[in-house]
Amino acid sequence: MPAITWCSVPWNDQYSIGVSGGERNEFQPQIGDEMKFGIHSAFHTGSVDLAKFAARCEQLGFESLWLPEHTVIPVNPSVGPGGVAGESIPDSYLLMTDPLIGLTIAAAATKTLRLGTGVLLVPEHHPVDLAKRISSLDFYSGGRFILGVGTGWQPEESAALGGDFAHRWTQTSESLEIMKKLWTENEPEHHGHYHSFPKLRFHPRPVQKPHPPVLLGGSAKRLFDRVAAMADGWAPWEIVPDKLAAGRRLLNDACERIGRAADTVSITVFTNNRDPGVINAYSAAGADRVVITMGSMPRHNPFARLEQIAKLAAS
């Protein structure tokens, strides 16, 4: 298993809504270099205070906190979660708050916790505006932001926000190209299929150089070429360890084809599986980070589940 030890850390009374009637949990896992552990959850207007939750994640030794995105949900959807026809969409998707605003709140309540989107639906945003919001968050957090990228599965949501659903990966590729130009060039300009602008000035630049890490979600075979060409990591969801190992090999091959060192591409697995044997298998298959998904975050007593996951990470 990943190298994790238990140690005592100071308790910050400002955020002390603990597990058992506010009791202090004196031992938190400190996650080592071999594997990073994160938490993924959807926050809404009925959830626990996000600042308190983020602070507790940091106190428990988690490396990162990840928030998802859905801006609108159609009244009569053509597909449900994952693009399955005929499936209804749970209200939890509708009630999500904005992830970048949520992560800004989390940044203000923490000092070391990495802050990720899991995932941000990039084709549903204008890339110039999105680049500004991301670089501002990276600035205010002291360089802790991670951009987890998705393209979405809901056609009506995509259309309402200006997305080209049928060609969403093409649109996403152009958006990432634009954002990287804004983050790294002195006078960026762009003339593409979806966007065009003359030379611009842009500020602030991200704290992380050349820019925050970009992770691409998905598991389609052609995704590996995209990850190798334009991303810093691969972020599959609910993948079994054997397929993760196979994906690592495909990713290595994709890197070799373009002359990129495979060890410059990380793997972050999002999963609800809390079996220590499976977590260990993810590590053996090449995962650098495991993010445990918790679903929608309730207002009352979410910390019991959080501490259970912390104990899993330390097992």
How far apart CA 18 and CA 40 sit, in angstroms, is: 19
In a domain, 268, yes or no: yes
Structure tokens at 208: 């992380």
Q: Classify residue 17: in a domain, yes or no.
A: no
Predicted confidence (pLDDT) per residue in 82-131, tens digit: 899 989 999 999 999 999 999 999 999 999 999 999 999 999 999 999 99
Q: Does residue 3 lie in a domain region?
A: no
Q: Tell whether the model's pLDDT for residue 133 goes beyond 50.
A: yes
Whether residue 195 is predicted with pLDDT greater than 50 in this model: the reply is yes
Q: Which pLDDT tens digit goes with each residue over 51-61?
A: 999 999 999 99
Contact 137, 54 (CB under 8 A): no
Query: Residue 30 pLDDT more than 60?
Result: no
In a domain, 13, yes or no: no
The answer to whether residue 63 sits within a structural domain is: yes
Report the CATH number that the domain containing residue 112 is assigned in CATH.
Answer: 3.20.20.30
Average pLDDT over residues 182-200: 99
Q: Output the DSSP codes for 105-119.
A: HHHHH-SS-EEEES-
In this prediction, residue 24 carries a pLDDT of: 29
Q: For tokens 């009244």, what's the residue?
A: 75
pLDDT at 220: 79
Confidence of residue 218 (pLDDT cuts 50, 70, 90): confident
Domain that holds residue 218: 27-314
pTM, whole model, 2 decimals?
Answer: 0.89
Q: What is the mean pLDDT of residues 32-44?
A: 86
12 belongs to a structural domain? no
In the block, residue with structure tokens 């207002």? 299
Number of domains in the chain: 1
Rounded to an integer, the average pLDDT of 7-17 is 29
DSSP string over the chain = ---EEEE-----GGG---SSTT-----EEEE-SS-EEEEEEE--TTSPPHHHHHHHHHHTT-SEEEE-------SS-SB-GGG-BT----HHHHTPPPHHHHHHHHHHH-SS-EEEES-EEGGGS-HHHHHHHHHHHHHHTTS-EEEEEE--S-HHHHHHTT--GGGHHHHHHHHHHHHHHHHH-SS--EE-SS-EE-S----PPPSSSSSS-EEEE---TTHHHHHHHH-SEEE-BS--HHHHHHHHHHHHHHHHHTT--GGGSEEEEEE----HHHHHHHHHHT-SEEEEEEEEPPSS--HHHHHHHHHHHH-
The one-letter amino acid at 185: E
Mean pLDDT of 166-179: 98
Domain assignment present for residue 136? The answer is yes
| Residue 202, in any domain of the structure | yes
Task: For residue 41, report the phi and psi dihedrals to the nearest 5 degrees.
Answer: -155, 155
| pLDDT of 33 | 52
Query: Up-side HSE of residue 162: CA atoms within 13 Å toward CB?
Result: 11
